[in-house]
Chain A
């Protein structure tokens, strides 16, 4: 079955770059997503990448996809305290529902 894995925790200093990593097992994944969850809130879609792309940039966010290694990363430039949250990687193949990773808790130190 599909599996998506992430490290559980990342701590960075304000102003530094954060890199959150994700690996997945399903080679037929067509879309890969990054969601952000703030405490007590629902999931907010940050960005997504189609599987035939290897990079996507959106303001402070850069997504890198290595399809050969089934590795996805999210880089947040100039990380701010407001970026502290849990970040979920998710993948989808065909019409299947999303399969989520376990989430990475990002802590930004002032």
Chain B
């Protein structure tokens, strides 16, 4: 009964490839996020979706495209992977409003070679 799950946990791929990371939450939340954590542990918001609609889109290359088929899922597709994309990607979810507590998934470690 994992609250926020991500697949895969590890992803190793070559430059130029296209890959997807999946995220699912079973908390009934209406808002989902993608964060990128670099090698220095710095954590930065990439995207946020509320009820399947994009509400935050930080300065992220358009090679990154989030897709939300329903409120419980937010997938991240990355085209033409580059070395600098290597990082840990975290999915999170919350309800809008109130204390806005965000619950994080376990992370997907992406390594681009």
Contact = CB atoms under 8 A, between A and B. Distances in A.
Contact of A48 (B33, B48, B101, B103): B101
7 contacts: A40-B107, A42-B107, A43-B90, A98-B45, A98-B102, A100-B43, A102-B40
A42 B41 contact: no
Interface of B: 4, 33, 40-45, 48, 55-56, 90, 92, 96, 99-107
Sorting the interface of chain A by its residue count into under 10, 10 to 19, 20 to 34 or 35 or more gives: 20 to 34
Contacts of A44: 104
Given A41-B106, A44-B104, A31 B96 contact: no
Chain B CB count within 10 A is highest, among A40, A42, A95, for: A42
B36 to A, nearest CB: 11
Given A43-B92, A45-B103, A97-B56, 14 more contacts: A31-B99, A42-B4, A42-B90, A43-B43, A43-B90, A45-B101, A45-B102, A86-B41, A92-B100, A97-B48, A100-B42, A102-B41, A102-B42, A103-B41
A7 to B, nearest CB: 13
A interface SS class: strand
Given A31-B100, A98-B102, A41 B107 contact: yes
Chain A CB count within 10 A is highest, among B41, B101, B106, B107, for: B41
Nearest to B46: A97
Interface string A46-61: 0010100000000000
Interface in A13-71: 31, 33, 35, 37, 40-45, 48, 50
